[in-house]
Structure 1
Amino acid sequence: MTNGYRLDNFTTEIISDIGVHSCIKECLLRKPHCQSINYNTQHFQCGINSRRADDIEFDGVQDYNSIFDNVWNASRETLGNCKDAMCSPLQRCVTMKSNNVCISTACPKGFYGKEGQCLPCHVGQYNDGSKQWCSYCPPGSYNDQTGSSFCQPCPPGTYQTKLGSLTCSKCSVGSYQDNTGQTGCKLCPVGMYQANTGQGSCIPCDTGTYQHNSGSTACSQCRVGTYQSNTGQASCLSCAPGSYQDTVGMSSCKPCQPGSHQSHWEQTQCTACTRNWYQDQPGQSFCKQCSGYQCVNTAKTQCIGLTAIQYSWCTSKQFVGYMRFHQCKQHCLNLGSSCHGVIYPRNYENWCYWCPSAQQAYSGNSNYWDLTMCV
């Protein structure tokens, strides 16, 4: 060859400086040799006995067979008028700075050129027809077929981080991927979970449950004293005063029943009204006090007033009624035996006494009950 360099392993020359001379490139397609037809038309050089090409971006098959490609010059007179008819079969014409060259670029989509013939791209690779070599499938895609012109994007629930993959990997538990062609998965957000692999979405926590961590595989039940009425929540809510919850994993709180109350948050039970106090409504945070000559019933749901005969003999709230023992005792029992301030008589007494105030003794008739024992 005139003014060319033919070596045992490589041929060197800057294509733009060749002019009418010829340059044959022999690049073995094994790491890290340059690929024979992957070059920049303005700045390409295979150095003498080098193992790489300068000023190119390697993008081709690395691990398979060798490719032998000839790059021939067209005459200088044809510069600017490059036609594929000037080249041999399986080649096309490319205009350089100072000349035209023919390169082997005639293989169809899904194939690459080797020693004058076209071979199918291997699995994990593709050729869309824009080049004459096969490229690795990019991250986020795969190809398990030979001779492909494109790679398949990883479907939802999967991902791929590597080049040239034959398959995609499933998202792990606690994660998901709702898009195609992705290189990673997303963690399930708070209030959601995923217990299975390869999923395209996460599952919201059910009512009565919550999850405050991302990437979770399950939700937790609301503890006693709390609840959650909505799905997909990161926390539970405290039961308000007037209510309680004694069971885990519930979607609501229970109201305090009449005769009871609860004045605090996040409680597991209600408190019964104390003596002479009552509550006739559910879900209350306090009890109401019976007034005057009234006693609370056993259920603590209402106050019962004494009849006019029963308290007509009362003076200054010192005692109730002017009844015989059996009448007074029966009345006290009817009231639930819990009337605050009423003194129950002994068998020989004829009176039911009313305490003016707690622990206050009544002085006077010695037959009266000792009022320091008021209930």
Structure 2
Amino acid sequence: MKFLPLQTPNRTIMTPGPVEVDPRVLQAMSTPILGQFDPAFTSIMNEVMEMLRYLFRTDNKWAFPIDGTSRSGIEAMLVSIIEQGDKVLIPIYGRFGYLLTEICERYGADVTTIEREWGTVFDPEDVIREIKKVQPKIVAIVHGETSTGCMQPLEEIGKACREMDVILVVDAVATIGGTDVNVDEWQLDGVIGGTQKCLSVPSGMAPITYNDRIEKIVLSRKKVERGIRTELDQQMATGQTIISNYFDLSQLQDYWSPRRLNHHTEATSMLYALREGLRLIMEEGLDNRFARHRLHERALMAGLEAMGLTLFGDKRFKLPTVTCVNIPQDVDGESVRRMLLDEFGIEIASSFGPLHGKIWRIGTMGYSCRKENILKLLTALEAVLIYHGVRINRGEGAQAALSMYGKQRKESAFSSVVHR
């Protein structure tokens, strides 16, 4: 059988991840391979660590990527600090809270969950009250839930966890690089990001950072896990959880430290991609980048509502990088998605669990978060909805977005004059 050279269709990807990769990142991935202990490559590793500290807004010693998808970073963080029977509290307000629960339970944690209706978030006081009641070793929580388009406020929870000596682990996969994740100011102990969302890098790495509170746990376990072999055999015989090898932060620390103790073969081209993605973020500046995401979010929301569609979720706690839209009554949401993809080359997402078939999820993340993408989506969605017999306000969606962009230009011009 003969296979043709790889050819993929051009797409405008407006999902909550993966998103379009910045062309400069793709170009960086074609850079020649270096050996993982070549001084030129270890210098790149050091640069990436420093860039990640900037991204996470932290002075933490440890900031490096886990080789694997975002889930690998979450698992590495949790497996390295959970011991059999540890109490873990997980507030759930969407699909990915359940993922945190499953991972913690697989490694032997005693998990307590509290839940909120999808489309809402927790009052921080409710979480703090539960922390006082449960007295967990760890609280694990999602910052931005792509399944519901909601974002959980963390600052009060972080302060309370620190005061009560509870470790706070945060899944910031959907928020890092698109909206503020202030690790040090919010007193977050361990934070996990992802490359395939707001960083506009292919899926395959999970940037993480953690402080000395987590490192203390990691190093204390290192002494036990590398202890007498008979003790490990006994643990295995009694069914106790043994720390993962691949996701062992103590070994990964040795690899990312100046010691460079071999743990795995680094994903060279992915590290090039991550470095370039981070370089572009630093070039744009975090505050400017966050403002860009908010602008295109506002234009999208204005366009959808002008069209006559309604948004899902509490707007007060909306995730700036994901907009959830209620599917009009009696409309086949999957048929709309297929037509957008087949006829216009635009991909948007469906949803999960209780929201499956009820909402569309539109991502405005990283390189996908551009004016031409917003206008193209609104124009195409209008055409597809009309084709499906939906009564909408024709011609209003794109015009509302254009008005939002025009307003922003005027405000920027005025600000520029005032500050001369």
Q: Same fold (TM over 0.5)?
A: no
Given the two structures, how large is their TM-score scaled by the length of structure 1? 0.16
> Higher relative CO (CA 8 A, sep ≥ 6), structure 1 or 2?
2
- Larger Rg, first or second structure (1 or 2): 1
Given the two structures, how large is their TM-score scaled by the length of structure 2? 0.15
Which is richer in helix? 2
